[in-house]
Amino acid sequence: MAEAGDSVPSPDHDAVTEPPPRHYAPRATGSVSRRMIVIAAAWIMILLVGGGVGLNRILTDALERNFDEQLEYLLNSMIVTAELGPDGEVVNNRELADQRFLEPGSGAYWQISGEGFEPYKSRSLWDRRLRVNQRHDDRDLHIYNSDEFVDKTARADRESDDSGNQMLRIAERDLKLPGSAVRWRFQIAQSRDGLDAQIATLRRTLVRSFVLLGLGLIVMVGLQTWYGLLPLRKVRKEIARLRAGKAKRIEDRMPAEIAPMVEELNALVEHNDRQAEEARRHAGNLAHALKTPLSVIMNAAAAAQEDLAPTVLREARTMRRQIDHHLARARAVGRRGSAHSRAMVWPSIEAVERAVARLYPAVRIDIDGQKDLVAHIERQDLDDLLGNLVENAAKYGGGSVFITARIEAGFVEILVEDDGRGIPDADRIRIFDRGVRLDSGKPGTGLGLAIVRDVAEIYDGTVSLEESEDLGGLLVRLRLPAAS
């Protein structure tokens, strides 16, 4: 292989004029701030309700336990002061210290009951007596609630000092006194009104405190959300300044969570600027490349030269070469920005091998290497690159072409070797220039390797020329980023 030639012909996809894409505003899916506040408020309410119920249970149990401990203390005091009278009845050798036991309907009562004896009771019971349930044995301390002093026909919202309606808390115990065969039941009863009032006050305090705490936490979440999302609103304003042309990038410092997004946004803006500059440069290059042939044609036509037709054809071919070259670059640049650019290497090699074999049936083409390689490039561009390289090897080689595909340091390497005369070291850089041909005896435009180099560089790849150790001709090493 001695020089660069043309690529394998492919359909001109740019000839089809497509309508410009319509721009649709992204449909909003709700407010991020609202979502954050609603989720936080729901979680706060769950925690506060759960915590309030648990705290209410703990404090209520503590109040009842303290109430019961007082009842147990009074019961033990009554048992200690109890003794047998002359007729075997139980009497107290001294009165209990609580003055309420002497006041009728005071809400504090005691009673000692035994089978065959009238109940011995406190003056506060007056004409009532505590109910004695003989169905269970109270040898151990037994504390329970009783509604025996509640008038079922009375108002439900009874006053705490209504002695006719009292919900009682009773502590009782059965035992036998020394010298007596009777089992006596000692009972201490106290109205629950005071205890229930304390529990109600406790619950009101808990509800009010937790409601205020919940409202305060929700307000705090709202302020935190507003302040936390402030950098995003700042980014939106900076993007508006970018779009208005008042800034070229976002320079303001951002929080650590937002900074990577801003860096990617700046990189995207710079990428778009580079693409726009690249497009302007290529448009200028194309205009400059077409200017000379057009001037030659116009001068020949103005002078009415006899060789006008050959001149027009020659210059038209020159313009076509330039247009094909810049169209190939434009297609590659337009597809480069896609993060989904992926192409299976082995199917592309097989397709190019079949196409070149039909053009050069006398050339033997062998392929080898890994069959699962994927390169970060569009399939059409990969076909164009391989088509140029394999066709050059078949056209300028001695009849044998060998293609190898492998992975090397994160790059897909495609080696195209031939058994031709090769290219001297001094010409291996110059051959990549547009229009350079080392063998003018064979048809071609001299743009093949130039297109290969330009397209490979667009995808961050490289192409280099070396000497083939196996076939003795030229070895072209094409390196493209491997796709994950």
pLDDT at 292: 76
Euclidean distance between CA atoms 208 and 215, whole angstroms: 11
Q: What CA–CA distances, in Å, run from 246 to 238, 243, 252, 479?
A: 9, 8, 14, 41
Match domain 50-202 to its CATH number in 1.10.10, 1.10.390, 3.30.70, 3.30.450.
3.30.450
State residue 105's pLDDT score: 86
Rg of the chain (C-alpha set): 50
Structure-token pair, residue 190? 């106290």
Chain CA centroid to CA 326, Å: 42
Domain coordinates in residue numbering, the chain: 50-202, 253-336, 343-481
Predicted confidence (pLDDT) per residue in 142-164, tens digit: 999 998 888 766 544 444 444 56
What pLDDT sits at residue 138?
Answer: 79
Helices 379-396 and 308-336: angle between axes, nearest 10 degrees:
130
Mean pLDDT of the chain: 82
**pLDDT > 90: what percent of the chain?**
32
| Topology adopted by domain 343-481 | Heat Shock Protein 90 (3.30.565)
Nearest in space to 10 (alpha carbons), one of 355, 350, 335, 329: 355
Q: Is the pLDDT of residue 347 over 90?
A: yes
CA–CA separation, 206 and 201 (whole Å) = 9
Phi-psi region of 410 (alpha: psi -120 to 50; beta: other; left: phi over 0): left
DSSP 315-378: HHHHHHHHHHHHHHHHHHHHHHT-TT--EEHHHHHHHHHHHHHHH-TTSEEEEEE-SS-EESS-
90 vs 339: which has the higher pLDDT = 90
Quick: pLDDT tens for 200-212.
999 999 999 999 9
What letter represents residue 229's amino acid?
L
pLDDT surpassing 50 at residue 438: no
Band of pLDDT at residue 53, cut at 50, 70 and 90: very high
C-alpha to C-alpha distance for 211 and 44, rounded to whole angstroms: 11
Reported confidence tier of residue 246, pLDDT bands at 50, 70, 90? confident
pTM to 2 decimals? 0.52
Range with the poorest average pLDDT among 113-122, 180-189, 268-277, 325-334: 325-334
- Above 80 in pLDDT, residue 175? yes
Q: What is the DSSP string of 377-403?
A: S-HHHHHHHHHHHHHHHHHHSSSEEEE
Give the per-residue pLDDT at 57: 95
Tokens describing residue 33: 């701030």
Report the alpha-carbon distance of residue 3 to residue 440 in Å, rounded: 9
3-state secondary structure of 170: strand
Phi, psi of 123 (to 5 degrees): -65, -25
Q: Which residue has the tokens 């000379």?
A: 292
Indicate if the alpha-carbon torsion angle 440, 444, 450, 456 is positive or negative: negative
The CA-CA-CA angle for residues 107, 128, 116, to 5°, reads: 125
Measure the CA–CA gap between 185 and 54, rounded to whole angstroms.
36
| More confident call, 428 vs 3 | 428
What average pLDDT does range 350-354 have in this prediction?
93
Q: In whole angstroms, give the CA distance from residue 346 to residue 354.
A: 12
* Cα–Cα distance list, 312 to 71, 136, 285, 297, 461 (Å): 122, 125, 21, 6, 37
Judged against a pLDDT cut of 80, whether residue 325 lies above it is answered with: no
Confidence of residue 1 (pLDDT cuts 50, 70, 90): very low
> Whats the size of the chain, residue-wise?
484
pLDDT per residue as tens digits for the range 364-422 = 999 999 999 999 988 888 988 899 899 989 988 888 999 999 999 889 999 999 998 87
Q: Is the dihedral of CA 202, 204, 208, 210 positive or negative?
A: positive
Structure tokens at 446: 């001299």
